Amino acid sequence: MSTIRTLTINFDSIIIDVIFGDNFMIYRVFCCFDQGRLVVLFNGFQKKTRKTPKEEIDRAMRLKDEYFNLKRQKNDNV
């Protein structure tokens, strides 16, 4: 079983939610595209309930923001 869906938290923050596994072990990975060419994986975890824990979504959003902020700072210093 594999599922890919877009999880839109707000207008400026889009994260792709990839779910994969079998009936016994399901895993979820949050990622996004960087300039349409690079897939950046933020965090993954074993899914144990139907609802995604808010702290996992918050972690993915924080890591996404950190990634793009560091990239922006690096580009500003060039």
pLDDT in tens, 21-71: 777 777 888 888 888 778 888 888 888 887 888 898 889 889 989 999 999
Q: What pLDDT is recorded for position 70? A: 93
Dihedral of the alpha carbons of 40, 45, 48, 51, in degrees to the nearest 10: -40
Burial (CB count within 10 angstroms: exposed 0-12, middle 13-18, buried 19+), residue 35: exposed
Q: What pLDDT is recorded for position 11? A: 38
Contact 29, 18 (CB under 8 A): yes
Whether the pLDDT of residue 12 is over 50: the answer is no
Q: Which residues contact 41 (CB under 8 A, 6 or more apart)?
A: 29, 30, 31
Q: What pLDDT is recorded for position 52? A: 82
Q: What are phi and psi of 41, to 5 degrees?
A: -90, 130
CA atoms within 13 A on the CB side of 38: 7
